[in-house]
Structure formats: C-alpha cells, structure tokens
Amino acid sequence: MKLYYSAASPYVRKVMMTAIEAGLDKKIEAVPTVVTPTKPNADVARDNPLMKVPTFVTDGGEVLYDSRVICEYLDSLHTGRKLIPISGGERWRALRLQALGDGILDAGILTRYETFLRPEEKRWPDWIQGQLRKVTQGLDAAEQEADAFDSQLDIGQIAIACAIGWLEFRKPAGDIRSGRPKLFKWYEKISRRPSMQTTVPKG
Amino acid sequence: MKLYYSAASPYVRKVMMTAIEAGLDKKIEAVPTVVTPTKPNADVARDNPLMKVPTFVTDGGEVLYDSRVICEYLDSLHTGRKLIPISGGERWRALRLQALGDGILDAGILTRYETFLRPEEKRWPDWIQGQLRKVTQGLDAAEQEADAFDSQLDIGQIAIACAIGWLEFRKPAGDIRSGRPKLFKWYEKISRRPSMQTTVPKG
C-alpha cells in the first residue's frame, strides 16, 4: 500500500494514526509529498486530480482519497476492535465527531493560508474572523463533549486529536487551551499513545 | 427529522437527493437557512458549531453533520437498494467518487468566495488559478470514468451530479461541457431523475 505523505498534514496524520492503531503501518510505503493550493503537483495529480494529501493506493492498485475514505478502508482490513463503530448510535456519534474535527481543521487551514500563504495586502480580516469563529466554536463544542469521549479510541477522537495537534503546531488561532480544561485533560491522555507520539507534526 | 436547508447549497442537494432516492424526503422538515463564511448564524451554531449547511437533527434529537454523515445515516434507514454499497470494491469506488465530487465542489466554492464574496482588491489570482485547476482536473477525471458509471445510482454519482449542477448554476469555472462528452451524456440522463429535477439549485 502506498500513501502520498506529508509530516505536516493533519489529514495524513489521521490516516497514519488509524494505520498504527490498526497494526497496518508497516505495510504502508509513505511517499514524501509537498502540495500547496497555488502550485500544481503533477505526481499527485496522476492519482488524485484534486492534488491533495493524503492520497492512497491499495495493493490492488486502486486509488483512494480523501482521509475519511482511506481511514475507513484501513479499518476494514484488520480484525481488531474497529475504530469506526460498525453501526448504530455509536457509529453516527463517531462520524459526526470526525466531521467536527475535520471541520475545525478546514477552518484552521483556511486561516493559515490567509495569514501565511496569501500576499499581505490581499488578506481579508472578515474571512479570517469567520474561519476563526468556526475553530473557536468547534473547540468549545469538543470541550462540552470531552467528558463523554469514550475510553475506547474511535475515529472521532482521532480527528479531534489531530485537529488540536495541528492547531498547536501552526498556531493559526493562538492559544487554544485556555477555558477548555476537560478537552485538554483528555488530549494529554490521548497524546501518550504511540500512534500520537510517532506522528507529531513536523515541517 | 429536521434539515437546515438552503436551495443553493450543493451539499444540501446531495442530502435531499439521497432522501428522495431513499423514499424519506416526506419525513424531513426543511428549515430555510442562510449561512455565509463571514457572518455568524446563531441558529445553526446551536446545533453545529461550524455553522454550515446541511446540518441535520434525527427524530431522537441527535445532531449530524456533514453531508457525508447525513447521507450515510439516511441510507441506513431504508430497506431498498443502498446508495452507499455496503462493502468491498463497490463501496470504496463509490466513496472515492463522492470524495471527488465533494473535492470539485470545495474548490469551486472557494473560487466563488474569492471572485464574488471577497472585496475586489483582495482577490488573489494564484489562489483562483489553483482552485480552478482542481475543478478542471477533477471534471477531466470524471470524464475518464463516466463510461464506468454504473446504471445503478450510488452516492458517488449523486455527488458528481450535484457538483456539475452547482458549477452550471454559479459558473465559477465558466463552461465546463466542452471536451467532456461522456460525462455530460451521463449527466443528461441522471438529470431526468425526479431527485435531480426537484432539487435544481435556486437562490
């Protein structure tokens, strides 16, 4: 299996954490890849016309993206406890929590593009403010739910953990710990897992 | 069941098409909703901190988002042929195609925000060009696959159809038909379904 990989991408981290928790990481060839919205990457484009990471190729040569699809595929390959509960309320809760984590990240990443990639004179404060509100409200919602985060790891928790890890790596929203004691108590605990420790963002 | 609804949103359309194809649309109360990235919407925020549509509330009061999660939930509620194949290669292909449709839309919507919502002097040609390249390459990939689109509808085809419908509604990429005869032959056919005809974008 092959993964277009970036050590700075929180969506790649979601895939790698899932692979590690599923015991599949040794079977994945990670191909270092640089993508940025304003520069085409012809190598990635051959497999994914959207030119994003993570992009994944199965042993059978089938291409899969995006991170949600890859994570679900990996979760189907092992016989241990599933990271995406198979059915019922547990499944919808985990998938909705994953969408929350991904949504916080989408807004955080748009903020970073605006404040880092875009030429300074073309930055739009209303846009930044709107995206940061999503980040802040999203984290506040996670704080309210943190007590209920199951001790059993699932894809929702993985997504929230990757979102927090990336927000603390790139800091588009500044300090995010203040006023969220339950969330960060849980985050400290999940951060001790090997799947978190070996995927700390770099770059 | 309740759906925060906008007749212009292609992601809401995906949910509505899924509901109609699953025979569930009559059970959904559609709540007209306006969201835009630069203005908070406190009503939506109560249920979804990301303040996006579609946001969905089950009969049991559980909140679900985003469109992928809602579509899968709806698909679990009926006993007919599933729009998201249950397992195997069919499932991964349909989910990857959905990710392609959603990714084309994400890039198209970012282009529209840049060329419509953002003040003119703050628009960045490199950003527009980068997003439009994703749209163009994504549609070209769909053209290459269109022959293989199964006559049986699935969530991947729904997503691609919603992407095309929205691109022709807002036109952020101009004419998209030229050079894609197979894709648009298929699109003309899928467009005759009641689930497409009753969800034509407006607004």
Within-domain flag for A81: no
Q: Which of A64, A107, A138 sits opposite B96 (nearest CB)?
A: A64
Contacts of B71 in chain A (CB under 8 A): none
Q: Give chain B positions within 8 Å (CB) of A62.
A: 89, 92-93
Amino acid B101: pLDDT: 98
- Statement to judge: residues A45 and A122 lie in one domain: no
CB-based contacts of A27: which residues, under 8 Å, 6+ apart? A1
Q: Are B124 and B160 in contact (CB under 8 A)?
A: no
pLDDT tens, residue by residue, B4-24: 999 999 999 999 999 999 999
> Does residue B203 belong to any structural domain of this protein?
no
Indicate if B70 and B20 belong to the same structural domain: yes
Per-residue pLDDT tens digits of chain A, which is 203 residues long? 999 999 999 999 999 999 999 999 999 999 999 999 999 999 999 999 999 999 999 999 999 999 999 999 999 999 999 999 999 999 999 999 999 999 999 999 999 999 999 999 999 999 999 999 999 999 999 999 999 997 799 999 999 999 999 999 999 999 999 999 999 999 999 999 999 999 999 98
Query: For residue A54, is the peptide bond before it cis, meaning its omega torsion is within 30 degrees of 0?
Result: yes
End of a domain among B50, B76, B102? B76
CB contact under 8 A, A51 and B134: yes
How far is Cα B178 from Cα B76, in angstroms, rounded to an integer?
A: 38
Cβ contacts from A onto B, under 8 A: 122
- Find the domain containing A27 and state its range: 2-76
What CATH number does the domain containing B65 carry? Answer: 3.40.30.10
Q: In whole angstroms, what is the distance from residue B138 CA to residue B144 CA? A: 10
How near does any CA of chain B get to the CA of A40, in Å? 7
Last residue of a domain, one of B56, B76, B96: B76
Instruction: Provide the number of structural domains found in chain A.
Output: 2
Q: Which of B76, B105, B124 marks a domain boundary? A: B76
Of A38, A69, A107, the CB nearest to B127: A38
Which amino acid is it at A164?
I
Residues A122 and A49 in one domain: no
Nearest CA to CA, how far is B135 from chain A (Å)? 8
> Which amino acid makes up residue B86?
I
Q: Based on the domain organization, do A56 and A130 belong to the same domain?
A: no
B56 plus B93 within the same structural domain: no
Residues B61 and B104 in one domain: no
CATH number of residue A128's parent domain? 1.20.1050.10
pTM recorded for the entire structure: 0.98
Say whether both B176 and B100 belong to one domain. Answer: yes
Flag residues of chain B having pLDDT under 70: none
SS3 content of chain B, % helix, strand, coil (to 5): 60, 5, 35
Positive or negative, the CA dihedral A94, A100, A104, A107 is positive
The whole-number pLDDT of residue B77 equals 98
- Specify if A48 maps to a domain: yes
Contact between B95 and A87 using a beta-carbon 8 Å cutoff:
no
